[in-house]
Amino acid sequence: MGLYVAGVIDGGSAITVVVGKDSKARLGYHITPTISLRRRNPAILQVIDEWATEHGIRGSIIEKNDSLEWKLQSRDDVREFLELLEPYLIVHDNTAQLILNEVLPRLDEGTHRTKDGFLETIEYADMVREATSGSTPKYNAEYFEELWSEELSSG
């Protein structure tokens, strides 16, 4: 079943890192790796959700206009999901590796809680987002370099 799930994920999902304002976060912004899959046919999402649940992964299914979206946002759930599927991913293999090897470890270590560490983490998030999206996100490394230019370590 893991091969089927990997195929569905490769064939039309969003594996990305969301960066946005967050008044509860130390620096006022959050970095959240996410996986989402949008379909009109709920049967496919049910299969993905059941497989994830069997592996202790808690996704959520949300109605969006004329479709449904299955989504993972918990750091641990994203990690477990990608670790299980990474050997089978083709299209999203590099994205999964960047999240597993670069983004998640920095979040786990709290690197993102300083401005320099946040910027370092955002640079990897930007690599993920460049690989999965055709547009430039508002909150990217360049944005934070300008925002915190006076406060970042040089070099």
- Total-model pTM: 0.91
Kindly state whether residue 154 falls inside one of the protein's structural domains. Answer: no
Q: Do the bridges between strand 60-64 and strand 14-21 make them parallel or antiparallel, or are there none, so unpaired?
A: unpaired
For residues 98 and 124, what is the distance between their CA atoms, to the nearest angstrom? Answer: 7
pLDDT band for 92, please (50, 70, 90 cuts): very high
Kindly state whether residue 105 falls inside one of the protein's structural domains. Answer: yes
Kindly state whether residue 152 falls inside one of the protein's structural domains. Answer: no
Range of the domain at 33: 2-147
Kindly state whether residue 58 falls inside one of the protein's structural domains. Answer: yes
Beta carbons within 8 Å of 71's beta carbon, 6+ residues apart: 34, 35, 36, 37, 59, 60, 61, 62
Total domains, the chain: 1
Give the lowest-confidence range in 49-53, 54-58, 62-66, 107-111.
Answer: 62-66
Kindly state whether residue 133 falls inside one of the protein's structural domains. Answer: yes
Q: Is the pLDDT of residue 154 over 80?
A: no
Kindly state whether residue 13 falls inside one of the protein's structural domains. Answer: yes
Q: Is the pLDDT of residue 155 over 60?
A: no
Kindly state whether residue 155 falls inside one of the protein's structural domains. Answer: no
Nearest to 31 by CA among 73, 62, 81: 73
Mean pLDDT on 61-86? 94
Kindly state whether residue 82 falls inside one of the protein's structural domains. Answer: yes
Residue that the structure tokens 């991913």 belong to: 89
The pLDDT assigned to 36 comes to 93
Mean pLDDT on 32-45? 92
Please state, rounded to an integer, the average pLDDT across all residues of the chain.
92
Beta carbons within 8 Å of 135's beta carbon, 6+ residues apart: none
* CATH number of the domain to which 134 belongs: 3.10.28.10
